[in-house]
Amino acid sequence: MKWRDLKWGKPSPDATGVEEALVRRDEAQVRLEQATEMERRAEMLIEANGFAEAFERTMRRRLAR
């Protein structure tokens, strides 16, 4: 907001755009954190199940043919 707008108590015409952008940024940050957590969990599950090793063995067998 510009100083004169603060002085007279009028909201700046672009103030709502800034506020909306800040809200969207916060929402995007939350989604990024959720995706990062999902990725971490998927990596843990893959390691726990030995899926990566089994997949790698399968691919090596297919490529060896």
Alpha-carbon separation of residue 50 from 2, 12, 25, 56, 58 (angstroms): 59, 57, 37, 10, 13
pLDDT tens string 45-60 = 878 877 778 888 888 8
Rounded distance, CA 48 to CA 39, Å?
Answer: 14
Q: Looking at residue 6, what is its pLDDT? A: 62
Q: Looking at residue 2, what is its pLDDT? A: 57
pLDDT tens string 13-48 = 666 788 888 999 999 999 999 999 999 998 888 788
Q: Looking at residue 39, what is its pLDDT? A: 92
Rounded distance, CA 22 to CA 16, Å?
Answer: 10
Q: Looking at residue 7, what is its pLDDT? A: 61
Q: What is the enclosing helix (H) or strand (E) of 27?
A: helix 15-49
What pTM, to 2 d.p., does this model score? 0.54
